[in-house]
Amino acid sequence: MKRNLSISCLQYSSSENEKSTLKTIKDLVNKALDVESELITLPECATSLQKNSILTKELAKTENENFSLQTIREIAKINSIFVLIGSLPIKASDKLVNRSFLIGPEGNILYKYDKIHLYDVNLPNGDIFRESDTYQHGNKAVIAKIKKNKIKIGLTICYDLRFPNLYQDLAVNGAEIIVVPSAFSNLTGAVHWHTLLKARAIETGAFIVAPAQTGHHECGRISYGHSLIVSPWGEVLEDAKKEIGIIHKNIDLNEVVKTRNAIPSLHSKRYYSTNF
């Protein structure tokens, strides 16, 4: 039995003004519709990136007040498509949450995921990032079920990529596709991005779909780009390189079954004692 899903990743550079970014998104959505995409995925920080955490906090809104969320819900409804909003800064309490949304063809919010692993790093070039100054971490892994619950999608965001146990847990519990919306550092991207995404695909036997930010942002940040769609066997099926645009693939979910049957590592885990 055929089990296919037509997926597109949108790749662009979020500006400081969400309305400007939304215009770019609408143009790219039209391109994804031209290739009959059923699921359109957007990167992390899907509609804006600010110069600092103070501005991010000042501009953040609740879900009910969030203009970007309402606009993209309308896009999904008008076009009867699934849309993954990679993430938006959502006002939750004293801090924000970095939250993904999976929007259904009727414009309804089907699933939400709050980024679990926050980007607190000291990079070799001297750049320091403290995402936890702005956001509180999530504490719940999420698998979305679409198309009458026949397709299961694991939700993750960017820095989660470096924590393979999360991906293993999603796969063991049925995720066939795992999305990794990102705004990956241009410094680490060149050496880590492809390797990590391919590794997560191989370890889980799942399709990895990673829409990414690219290029120079108004806020001064540079994102690596290279949105990828990776097969369960670890092959890069589509790579957006550095360009603003879309990548698209009609994936065959039977490949997940074939790969996991060939290498059943998800169910071969052994527990062991230690002497340390």
Between 194-204 and 164-172, two packed helices, what is the crossing angle to 10 degrees? Answer: 30
Q: Which listed residue (112, 115, 152, 249) is catalytic? A: 115
Whether 176 is catalytic: no
Radius of gyration of the chain (CA): 18
Tell me which of 44, 131, 152, 176 is the catalytic residue: 44
CB-side exposure of 62: number of CA atoms within 13 Å? 5
Q: Which of 47, 49, 56 is nearest to 25 (CA)?
A: 47
Is 233 in contact with 224 (CB distance < 8 Å)?
Answer: no
Q: How many CB atoms lie within 10 A of CB 137?
A: 15
Q: Which are the contacts of 241, defined by CB distance < 8 A and separation ≥ 6? A: 225, 226
Among this protein's residues, is 152 annotated catalytic?
no
Catalytic annotation present for 18: no
> Which of 131, 152, 158, 176 is flagged as catalytic?
158
Residues involved in catalysis: 44, 115, 158
